Chains A and B, each alone.
Chain A
Amino acid sequence: MSIWEYANPRKFLATTEPFLPWVFGAAGLCLGVGLIWGFFFTPDDYRQGSTVKIIYLHVPAAMMAINAWIMMLVASLIWLIRRHHVSALAARAAAPVGIVMTLIALFTGAVWGQPMWGTWWAWDPRLTSFLILFLFYLGYVALWEAIADPDTAADLTSVLCMVGSVFAVLSRYAVNFWNQGLHQGASLSLDREENVSDVYWQPLVICMTGFGLLFLALVLQRTGTEIRLRRAQALRARTERAQA
């Protein structure tokens, strides 16, 4: 354990850090163009009025909330199988980003539904599924925070991510079953594919790209932070042991 414990982390930092400003910049550009186009230059929907503009936030955030968890799952599997520390740290880094995406999806979803449902919160299956996803995120982050040894924490959170994924999918079906009677055929169409005409679709795609790039930038940056943090802790532990 002389310089860096593993070659991987150093190469990761060396490779990704130069690109960070560019990725952030691209994300900012897409988000700026997409949101401004969507907010200022698209017409109101016949049924939903101006609330249709919320689509430019809600749909990309919801997509990223789920994609973040999937990325964490893949990273966890890579850690368990190949023991690349960068992978475990990337999963840890992605979680808070996923949480923010989930919160945005929840808030915008609830607010979008308010004019349609007349209430600030409704136990709509999709919203409820995101609430449950939020809880799984919380448990994952809490477990990382609770365990002192980094490798143990990486292992346990990876197992939790895998098991949690199964239950998250299960919950989705359970919640659909639970609330299938209500809000069927609701005018609130949260599925991006459905009847989104070109006029809305183009800025939406740009926003989705923007959110995706932002996620990428944040995860790259935060993984770098985790790598440095881990190294600092390892160095400190070594000097403490040397002095003891």
Chain B
Amino acid sequence: MRALLIRDLRLAVRAGGGFGLGLAFFLIVVVLVPFGVGPEPSVLARIAPGILWVAALLAALLSLDRLFALDHEDGALALLATAPLPLEGVAIAKAAAHWITTGLPLTIAAPALGFLLHLSPQAGGWLMLTLALGTPALSVIGAFGAALTVGLKRGGLLMSLIVLPMYMPTLIFGAEAVRRGSEGLVVTAPLLFLAGISAGAIALLPFASAAALRVNLR
């Protein structure tokens, strides 16, 4: 499993692997927002947590359709299916690679980008924490969506339609936690739900992803 993980990481970091793309997209979306809603600091500061979370969702979505598709196209996925590593392990390894190359950089970059949206440093801290707790769920849910659509020629849009509604609970609890935290309110409930969703997704979704991969490899 570690070998698969390292291979995917190396592939992602190489040219054309899309490593920086997620971050660049994140930056672009954040830059677009003030053009859309006006530069007034108080407005931006209020919507910043939500905007950053939504931008993180969309950036995570970007690198998802290549998660299994590239390997499927050249037959590597079929080989992986016959390897001693169970497909569930493949799914987890792929999701982990996705998180390391997309979710983790997003989490680290978010407070800096929040600075552009007048996000307070305190809120920035909460943002990092919630993203750290929530982005693993995004990767695992995304892997499920990618597994479902791996056989389709242009499955990217369909995958987004399937995956984005499943992102909503994570988004709701994540953004709400940042909002409450920055106002000094109690934040345990949303954080617990956020962590719970991630934990549950990591524990259970790989089975669904593996089932979908098996169906698509038939």
A and B assemble together: yes
Chain A residues, Cβ within 8 Å of B190: 177
* 7 pairs from A and B in contact (CB 8 Å cutoff): A135-B165, A139-B158, A156-B215, A159-B212, A174-B172, A177-B189, A178-B172
> Is A226 an interface residue when CB atoms closer than 8 A count as contact?
no
Instruction: Decide: B208 and A159 in contact? CB cutoff 8 A.
Output: yes
> Is B53 an interface residue when CB atoms closer than 8 A count as contact?
no
Instruction: Decide: A156 and B216 in contact? CB cutoff 8 A.
Output: yes
Q: In the complex, which residues 148-162 of chain B have their Cβ closer than 8 Å to any Cβ of chain A?
A: 148-149, 151-152, 155, 158, 161-162
Chain B residues, Cβ within 8 Å of A174: 168-169, 172-173, 193
> Is B88 an interface residue when CB atoms closer than 8 A count as contact?
no
Interface centre among A135, A138, A152, A159 (most CB of B within 10 A): A159
> Is B211 an interface residue when CB atoms closer than 8 A count as contact?
yes
Q: In the complex, which residues 127-161 of chain A have their Cβ closer than 8 Å to any Cβ of chain B?
A: 132, 135-136, 138-139, 142-143, 146-147, 152, 155-156, 159-160
Chain A: minimal CB distance from B176 (Å)? 6
A156, A167, A177, A178: the one contacting B166 at CB < 8 Å is A167
Q: Which 8 A-B pairs have the closest CB atoms?
A: A174-B169, A139-B162, A174-B172, A135-B165, A155-B215, A167-B166, A170-B169, A178-B172
| Contact indicator per residue, chain B 189-214, by CB within 8 Å of chain A (1) or not (0) | 11001000100000001001001100
A135, A136, A147: the one contacting B152 at CB < 8 Å is A147
Q: In the complex, which residues 96-150 of chain A have their Cβ closer than 8 Å to any Cβ of chain B?
A: 132, 135-136, 138-139, 142-143, 146-147
Chain B residues, Cβ within 8 Å of A142: 158, 161-162
How far, in whole Å, are A163 and B149 apart by their CA atoms in the complex?
Answer: 15
Instruction: Decide: B158 and A143 in contact? CB cutoff 8 A.
Output: yes
A146-B216 contact, Cβ under 8 Å, with A174-B168, A175-B172, A178-B176:
no
Q: Is the interface of A mostly helix, strand, loop or mixed?
A: helix
A163-B168 contact, Cβ under 8 Å, with A143-B148, A146-B158, A178-B176:
no
> Is A212 an interface residue when CB atoms closer than 8 A count as contact?
no
Chain A: minimal CB distance from B194 (Å)? 10
How far, in whole Å, are A174 and B197 apart by their CA atoms in the complex?
Answer: 11
Q: Is the interface of B mostly helix, strand, loop or mixed?
A: helix
Chain B residues, Cβ within 8 Å of A210: none
Instruction: Decide: A152 and B208 in contact? CB cutoff 8 A.
Output: no
> Is A171 an interface residue when CB atoms closer than 8 A count as contact?
yes
> Is B2 an interface residue when CB atoms closer than 8 A count as contact?
no
Chain B: minimal CB distance from A205 (Å)? 33
How far, in whole Å, are A171 and B173 apart by their CA atoms in the complex?
Answer: 10
Chain B interface size band reads 20 to 34
A139-B165 contact, Cβ under 8 Å, with A152-B216, A155-B215, A159-B148:
yes
How far, in whole Å, are A110 and B149 apart by their CA atoms in the complex?
Answer: 34
| Contact indicator per residue, chain A 183-225, by CB within 8 Å of chain B (1) or not (0) | 0000000000000000000000000000000000000000000
> Is A164 an interface residue when CB atoms closer than 8 A count as contact?
yes
Total count of chain A residues near the partner, CB < 8 A: 25
> Is B126 an interface residue when CB atoms closer than 8 A count as contact?
no
Interface centre among B151, B164, B168, B211 (most CB of A within 10 A): B168
How far, in whole Å, are A175 and B169 apart by their CA atoms in the complex?
Answer: 8
How far, in whole Å, are A142 and B152 apart by their CA atoms in the complex?
Answer: 12
> Is B68 an interface residue when CB atoms closer than 8 A count as contact?
no
Chain B residues, Cβ within 8 Å of A147: 151-152
A163-B215 contact, Cβ under 8 Å, with A174-B173, A178-B172:
no
| Contact indicator per residue, chain B 116-158, by CB within 8 Å of chain A (1) or not (0) | 0000000000000000000000000000100011011001001
> Is A162 an interface residue when CB atoms closer than 8 A count as contact?
yes
Chain A residues, Cβ within 8 Å of B172: 171, 174-175, 177-178
Chain A: minimal CB distance from B85 (Å)? 21
Interface centre among A146, A152, A164 (most CB of B within 10 A): A146
How far, in whole Å, are A178 and B197 apart by their CA atoms in the complex?
Answer: 15
Interface centre among A142, A143, A173 (most CB of B within 10 A): A143
Chain B: minimal CB distance from A120 (Å)? 22
B148, B151, B165, B212: the one contacting A167 at CB < 8 Å is B165
| Contact indicator per residue, chain B 170-182, by CB within 8 Å of chain A (1) or not (0) | 0011001000000
How far, in whole Å, are A160 and B144 apart by their CA atoms in the complex?
Answer: 9
Chain A residues, Cβ within 8 Å of B162: 139, 142-143, 160
